[in-house]
Amino acid sequence: MIKILLIEDDVELASLLQAALLVEAIEVKLAFTPLEGLTALQNESFDALVLDLSLPQIDGLEICRIVHESIPNLPIIISSARSDMNDKVMGFERGADDFLPKPYDPRELAFRLRAILRRGVLIPESEALFHIDEAKHLISRGQNALRLTQAEYDIVAYMLKKAGFVISREELLLNIGSIKYESSLKSIDVIMGRIRQKIGDNPKKPRFILSIRGVGYKFINA
């Protein structure tokens, strides 16, 4: 299931969206103030942020900037009744991925969330942290070669070639010969856990291999 954070000070609207999105297999954690939202982002992992602009304490555009700078790979959708073009432009300049004017059907928000999560996050080669040397059959993090089994190597190599894009477990099973005979999709999660350990990824708050609930995995090579 996709998990998002909604920062919205309209309690009634937030509760309605939470219930409607749950029907769409999207779990929503609510934050009614910017500080609640920023605290949640520090303590939990989310697939996306939906952000109102007219908030108490701190304006939503400033929250957008703070979140984008601290968690650059987190998709942000601005959900606001403020439809002035300047707000839209400033939102995108501060890192928003989409702008959804109120009022709207919750199903449209669900559609936009899924569309953004399917979209790749492309990292310039100069900023890439992991590299493949296919001639030597090696994958390195910076200057350090990783010690991987054949299945682990094949998975990481495949994900690096599609870095930034969501990859399902089924896609991995269909395209990677060394794991085709694994008994279940759950085995992919086990292998992914071992890979996270070997590449130095925090399983509680992963930076490189992101779990997209109900969809699959996304590798961020930066």
Mean pLDDT across the chain, nearest whole number? 86
Domain 125-219: give its CATH code: 1.10.10.10
- The reported pLDDT for the residue numbered 145 is 93
**Does residue 170 surpass a pLDDT of 80?**
yes
Domain locations along the chain: 2-118, 125-219
- The reported pLDDT for the residue numbered 203 is 80
- The reported pLDDT for the residue numbered 121 is 53
> Is the whole model's pTM more than 0.75, yes or no?
no
User: Which whole number is the average pLDDT over 71-89?
Assistant: 85
pLDDT in tens, 122-162: 455 556 789 888 888 999 998 899 999 998 999 999 998 88
Query: Architecture of 2-118 per CATH?
Result: 3-Layer(aba) Sandwich (3.40)
- The reported pLDDT for the residue numbered 124 is 56
Percent of the chain with pLDDT over 70: 93
User: Which whole number is the average pLDDT over 89-116?
Assistant: 88
CB 92 within 8 A of CB 99: yes
